[in-house]
Amino acid sequence: MLAPTSGFLLDSAARAMAAAFPKPDPERVAAALDEVFALADQSWEATRSAVSFRLGTPAIACRSGCGWCCHQQVGVSVVEAIRITVHLQSLPADQRAALTERVRWLDKRTAGRTTSERAAAKLPCAFLADGACTIYGVRPLRCRGLHSTDVGFCIASFNDPEDVRAGLALGSLRPAFLGAPQQVYDQALNGVLKTLHFAKLADYGLELTAAVRQLLDRPGLAVSWLKQKAAPKSAALVPDPGADPRGQLR
């Protein structure tokens, strides 16, 4: 199986997302985005299975139960936030209520924080439980693209991000996150954003927790977003990267 080129993946993701338009609703968006996820996952699997990649790349250290990277700000598109909300609404009432409360709790404590402030707070993602992602099948594309070759680097980044940044700047540390999966999933995300742009739907980045909370707290809001009758409140917008040069939005 050959890994598709980045341009091919971008266009394929755009076509898959376009299946939800011109009359999008949450269910159609969810189905289209699932197809994008499948395309991106297949592309990454093909990339990591290539002999050249396997011979030239250290083993990936990420495992279930290791959630060190899940304590930071995550950027999502409008449709990714809607996809997660559709998933939550499909859960049994007790599970949905518990996750909804975790989203509200985290949003109260992270609202308005810069990327660095969010990481420094060391607060886990609302969907992290026992080191594992509870929404793994519908997790955002940026999360899918983060793969580490050194769990020690991840632990150090969690414990003392400033020290790790200094080490990277001085060259005493080397980045442990692979570029190849980030490129794959970023191209899929670019395909999604391309479709949203041509559909004249907001293609700006949203902060995961704040966006999902808005959708959970206001039933029907997803339809309003998709029909452009309403826009996400400013609290859900990711901070301007220029205002926080130390941070790096995942």
Q: Count the Cβ atoms, other than its own, within 10 Å of residue 88.
A: 21
| HEC readout, 133-199 | ECCHHHCCHHHHCCCECCHHHHHHHHHCHHHHHHHHHHCCCCCCECHHHHHHHHHHHHHHHHHHHHC
Q: What is the DSSP string of 79-135?
A: HHHHHHHHHHHTS-HHHHHHHHHHHHHHHHHHTT--HHHHHHHTPPPTTEETTEETT
Question: 17: closest CA among 233, 183, 226, 166?
Answer: 226
pLDDT band at 239; cut points 50, 70, 90 = low
Q: State the average pLDDT for the chain.
A: 90
Average of per-residue pLDDT across 61-73:
91
Asked whether residue 241 carries a pLDDT value surpassing 90, the answer given is no
Domain-wise residue ranges, the chain: 6-229
Q: Is the pLDDT of residue 249 over 60?
A: no
Q: Give 3's pLDDT tier (boundaries 50, 70, 90).
A: low
Q: What average pLDDT does range 192-204 have in this prediction? A: 88
Task: Give the confidence band of 21 by pLDDT, cuts at 50, 70, 90.
Answer: very high
In the chain, how many H helices and how many E strands?
A: 12, 4
The span from the CA of 223 to the CA of 56, in Å, is 46
Number of C-beta neighbours around residue 41 at 10 A:
14
Confidence grade of residue 6 (pLDDT, cut at 50, 70, 90): low
CB atoms within 10 A of CB 53: 14
> What is the rounded distance in angstroms from the CA atom of residue 167 to the CA atom of residue 169?
5
- Residue 62, Cβ neighbours under 10 Å: how many? 16
Three-state secondary structure call for residue 75? strand
